[in-house]
Amino acid sequence: MKALVYHGPGKKAWEEKPKPVIIKPTDAIVKILKTTICGTDLHIMKGDLPDVTDGRIIGHEGVGIIDEVGSGVGSFKKGDHVLISCITSCGKCEYCKKGMYSHCTDGGWILGNLIDGCQAEYVRIPHADNSLYPIPAGADEEALVMLSDILPTGFECGVLNGQVKPGDVIAIIGAGPVGMAALLTSQFYTPAEIIVIDVDDNRLAVAKTFGATQTVNSADGTATEKVMKLTGGRGVDVAIEAVGIPATFELCEEIIGAGGHIANIGVHGKSVTLHMETLWSKNITITTRLVDTVTTSMLFKTVQSNKLQPKQLITHRFKLDQVIEAYETFGNAAKEKALKVILEND
């Protein structure tokens, strides 16, 4: 089969790899129908994630058809259409039983990281019963690709951890796919104001169409002043960090109001300054989380009922064998006006 293979920082190739085989009875082999590229994959390509080794097939999102199941798989059979979760979980270990699938002792985020991933014609999914979701006939499978990672990530790490409530003033820093997913899912809770902050005017314009009530371009370094003005000097109730650099986390610390929640989603490669000299008395909660994908079934239902319309996040479509070109487009997101790219295998 063909797959996108990482060969060290800055090096990748669309090349021939052996088709995956069942290793454990709980495995399934899935033929990929649609997959996508994540911001995390760009970090991998830069060499920011040293656990990813030369020869690894990248990718942790997608939908497909079951090609083969191990003898221990009870919920799926050959021919079933499935959604692949970015998080693999056994459902049996102490962490899984707490709903913390991200820290499963025999799973977590391993796909396209510690084991071969989804940007390929076929992928092996361990613990298939707990790590795949059945797709009913007639569902819009392209929209469902957004459920592998970005929707649960924006919702669980941003909206749930931030404890967004009706009437809240919330700020989302970073209008990439995950920030947009937080923007869409925060509206389950009818916040009064949603302020989206980014450096890209195109993304801010798109955020307005997705429900942002205010947008702030932070490129000139005056985002804090602008947000304080918008909130009458009080700051926001919830600040959702969806970038992962020191400047954006520190912006959250500057704009958070008394009693507020700072919910970090961003993947941070560098340490940030914790401004306890201003935060110590403000009753602030700061949360971090790796997505557990425990809300995937709930989000699935909201997509099926059209309450949530994640398809609007898809800006570009490619054939799977055009994956290198798709990386170029996604890697130049501002210039290409790209959010999510769909890669289709046929």
User: Which of 96, 110, 143, 299 touches Zn ion (CB under 5 A)?
Assistant: 96
CA distance 154 to 246: 19
Nearer to Zn ion, 26 or 40 (CB): 40
For the packed helices 177-186 and 201-209, what is the interaxial angle rounded to 10 degrees? 30
Which window, 146-154, 248-256, 306-314, 318-326, contacts Zn ion (CB under 5 A)? 146-154
Q: Please give the helix or strand (H or E) that residue 183 lies within, else none.
A: helix 177-186
Nearer to Zn ion, 96 or 236 (CB): 96
**Rg value, the chain, Cα:** 20
Between β-strands 314-319 and 340-344, what pairing exists: parallel, antiparallel or unpaired? Answer: parallel
CA distance 71 to 90: 16
Which window, 25-33, 96-104, 167-175, 332-340, contacts Zn ion (CB under 5 A)? 96-104
CA distance 62 to 180: 19
Closest distance of CB 96 from Zn ion, Å = 3
Contact 294, 91 (CB under 8 A): no
Contact 89, 104 (CB under 8 A): yes
- Cβ–Cβ contacts within 10 Å for residue 334, how many? 12
Which window, 85-93, 137-145, 214-222, 244-252, contacts Zn ion (CB under 5 A)? 85-93
Which window, 76-84, 142-150, 230-238, 291-299, contacts Zn ion (CB under 5 A)? 142-150
CA distance 118 to 110: 11
Nearer to Zn ion, 85 or 161 (CB): 85
Q: Is residue 338 near Zn ion by the rule CB under 5 A?
A: no
User: Which of 149, 156, 198, 292 touches Zn ion (CB under 5 A)?
Assistant: 149
Closest distance of CB 133 from Zn ion, Å = 16
For residue 182 the two structure tokens come to 């937080």
User: Which of 104, 147, 243, 256 touches Zn ion (CB under 5 A)?
Assistant: 104
Closest distance of CB 104 from Zn ion, Å = 3
Contact 21, 60 (CB under 8 A): no
Nearer to Zn ion, 142 or 237 (CB): 142
Closest distance of CB 62 from Zn ion, Å = 11
Nearer to Zn ion, 107 or 191 (CB): 107
Which window, 20-28, 71-79, 93-101, 267-275, contacts Zn ion (CB under 5 A)? 93-101
CA distance 77 to 167: 46
Site string (37-56) toward Zn ion, x via CB under 5 A: -x-x----------------
Contact 63, 33 (CB under 8 A): yes
Sites of contact with Zn ion (CB under 5 A) = 38, 40, 90, 93, 96, 104, 149
